[in-house]
Amino acid sequence: MNLRALLRSLPAALITASLLSALPAQSAAVPDGVWVREGYQLSVAVDALKSPRFLAFGPNGTLYVSVPKEGAIYACTDANGDGIYEKQFDFVEGRDPRTILQGMQWHDGWLWFAQLNSISKARDTDGDGKADEIVEVLGEEQLPTGGRGGHSWRALLIHGGKIYTHVGDQTNATDEPIDASERKKIWTFNLDGSGKKLFASGLRNSEKLVIRPGTDEVWGVDHDIDELAQKWETPTVAKFGKPITSHNPPAELNHYQEGHFYGHPWLVGKNQPNPNFLDHPKLVEYASMATIPEWLMPSHSSANSLLFYTGDKIPGAHGDAFVAQKGGWNAAEKVGYCLSRVYFEDGHPWGEQKIVSFLKGDEVLGRPVDCAQAPDGSIVFSDDSGHKVYRVKYVGK
Contacts with Ca ion, residue ranges (CB under 5 A):
78, 80, 82, 84, 86, 124, 126, 128, 130, 132, 262-263
CB of 24 to Ca ion, least distance (A): 12
Query: What gap in Å lies between CA 128 and CA 229, rounded to an integer?
Result: 54
Categorise residue 40: left if φ over 0, alpha if ψ from -120 to 50, beta otherwise. Answer: beta
Query: Which DSSP string corresponds to 39-53?
Result: TEEEEEEE---SS--
Question: Exposure of 37 by Cβ count < 10 A (0-12 exposed, 13-18 middle, 19+ buried)?
Answer: middle
Residue 132 Cβ, how far from Ca ion at the closest point, in Å?
Answer: 4
Residue 100 or 184 having the CB closest to Ca ion: 184
Considering beta carbons, is residue 124 or 320 the nearer one to Ca ion? Answer: 124
DSSP string, 372-386: EE-TTS-EEEEETTT
- Give the CA diameter of the chain: 65
Question: What count of other Cβ atoms lies within 10 Å of the Cβ of residue 333?
Answer: 10
| Residue 4 Cβ vs Ca ion, minimum distance, rounded to whole Å | 14
Q: What's the closest the beta carbon of residue 214 comes to Ca ion, in angstroms? A: 25
- 142 vs 257 by CB, closer to Ca ion: 257
**Residues whose CB falls within 8 Å of the CB of residue 61, separated by 6 or more in sequence, listed in order:** 77, 78, 374, 375
Pick from 107, 234, 102, 246: nearest CA to 163: 107
CB of 26 to Ca ion, least distance (A): 11
Nearer to Ca ion among residue 92 and residue 163 (C-beta): 92
Shortest distance, position 82 Cβ to Ca ion, whole Å = 4
Nearer to Ca ion, 254 or 305 (CB): 254
281's CB contacts (< 8 A; 6+ apart) are: none
Q: Which is nearer to Ca ion, 100 or 372 (CB)?
A: 372
